Amino acid sequence: MNSDVDWAGQAQRFQQDLTQQWTKALQHLQPVANGAGAPPQLSFAPDKLQALQQAYVREACELWNSGLGAKPVGADKRFAGDAWARNPVAAFTAAIYLLNARTLLGLAEAADTDAKTKARLRFAVEQWMAASAPSNFMALNAEAQQKAVETKGESIARGLQNLLADLQQGHVSMTDESAFDVGRNVATTEGAVVFENELFQLLEYKPLTKQVYERPFLVVPPCINKFYILDLQPENSLIRYLVEQGHRTFVVSWRNVDASLEDKTWDDYIEDAALKAISVVQEISGAKQINALGFCVGGTILGTALAVAAARGQKPVASATLLTALLDFSDTGILDLFIDESFVKYREMQMGKGGLLKGQELASTFSFLRPNDLVWNYVVGNYLKGETPPPFDLLYWNSDSTNLPGPMYAWYLRNTYHENNLVKPGKAVVCGEKVDLRKVDIPVYIYGSREDHIVPITGAYASVKHLPGKKRFVMGASGHIAGVINAPVKKKRSYWTNDKLPASHEAWLEGAKEHPGSWWTDWAAWLKSHGGKQVPAPKAYGKGAKYKAIEPAPGRYVKAKA
């Protein structure tokens, strides 16, 4: 490099210009709160800004002085391949990109503003930087270029074919979707549909033991995706595990709603789905009480339903299990970034009286919470390198999105994420009843995943403060899905227990004991004491002519595409 060039001066001027441009960009990226028409004016503490400038100048000078010998700093897997190291231009481009990314994130952190605005700025920077990475472009991606040379252009042709196929299906392929068929090689636990209405089908599963507990078990999965996450393969199926433990198991399979159901409300999902499923299971089994589980949004639905039942003087559920579920929405993690009064009002105006929240919109939102892993990774592999992602049942499920009725979604947004009304006794009125979780006086098993970015572990733990019955809280390793779907046969990960329930999760964790393996065994032991006595397993599905088998599990509803 030419030593006569004033690299330090150029670097400083470039960084100052970058600061000015980025400050303007951040102001426009910030969502406007409370209907305000003007973006907020951002300022930066002079000492923090000076430290950022000095660090940028120093690192930029080092890069420019090393010229095309520069290498990316850090362990970013996007640039870890040998092709990047062997291509000086690509390596230099990656190094400059990583420097700019660190600086822009530093600017977001240095902004003198409130915590929520700062978090939004950080999220906007991360999205921008993920999208602008040199690895996302054929002209800059050394690995894609090398593959094109090695395949004599075939990878480019395959990439174009993949792009056209994904445009037709409406989403980026994360797996080879042709390898899976619901009911054939996923969702294969044997059972039958024994009841259906316009919102859900009720599945009953064939017993695998000669005797079962007298209290049947009802699973309420999330309605924002499909129930077979709990029944992917026999070796990791939570549903099959319940059946093997001797529980007469029923599962709600939600309808993938279309325009005919666009006016359905949260009340409908409680009265005509959750409470209806509970009463049907009671009728079929003849049990006065059942046990129930709610997973994710299914846990919020189940908790609301139990509060409505309690307000009516009813106690149809003997014990409940909440898996990575929120009742208290005071800590919602990264999803809080999207929620404010203006956003909720917009959604209410858009679909509060009718309409559909498209499943692909929800799926895209969750994917962009981890953009490098769940979006750009597949853009690069599918289109730039012409690769077909391998078959993976979990990612197939992840791509099998579901629609939601607009009024139901709008109520949920305002009363949970925005106003946190479910934990304010009497504030939320559902099915004509005032919701008061203090009346849900039953034993509850609460599970949270340590690295969950959808339901933060502190949010999962917060339920212990609002439910008066005897409670057990267990924390598992990993995230929202992998932490839950962790069968004992895998002998993977670990979980933590603590018989005491202090005010905060941090205090709970200080006294918690770690155990190797799956939390399922701890849960199974807990369930034994709530199942009642053993009775002969039923020899037929349903009960009489009223609840006869309609069709084999997994039923029609789960196969409907968004």
Contacts by residues 349-352 (CB-CB < 8 Å, ≥ 24 positions apart): 350/406, 351/262, 351/406, 351/407, 351/409, 351/410, 352/406, 352/407, 352/410
Other beta carbons less than 10 A from residue 149's beta carbon: 10
DSSP H stretches of helix in 413-504: 457-461
Q: Please identify which residue in the block is written with the tokens 């339920």.
A: 463
Distance of CA 180 to the CA centre of its chain: 22
Q: How far is CA 162 from CA 119, 148, 166, in A?
A: 35, 15, 6
d(CA 12, CA 58): 9
- 431 is known as an active-site residue: no
In the chain, % helix, strand, coil (3-state, to 5) comes to 50, 15, 40
Task: Phi first, then psi: give them for residue 445, nearest 5 degrees.
Answer: -105, 120
Closest alpha carbon to 422 in 314, 506, 308, 283: 308
Q: Please identify which residue in the block is written with the tokens 């709008």.
A: 410
Beta bridge partners of 448: 475
Under DSSP, is residue 194 helix (H, G, I), strand (E, B) or coil? strand
Report which secondary-structure segment, H or E, holds 447: strand 444-449
Eight-state DSSP code of residue 182: B
DSSP H stretches of helix in 87-141: 88-110, 115-131
Contact 62, 37 (CB under 8 A): no
Q: Which residues contact 350 (CB under 8 A, 6 or more apart)?
A: 406
The amino acid present at 7, given as its one-letter code, is: W
Contact 464, 443 (CB under 8 A): no
Closest alpha carbon to 463 in 353, 300, 341, 345: 300
Contact 255, 398 (CB under 8 A): no
Contact 270, 240 (CB under 8 A): no
**Annotated active-site residue in 61, 223, 296, 431:** 296
Catalytic residues: 296
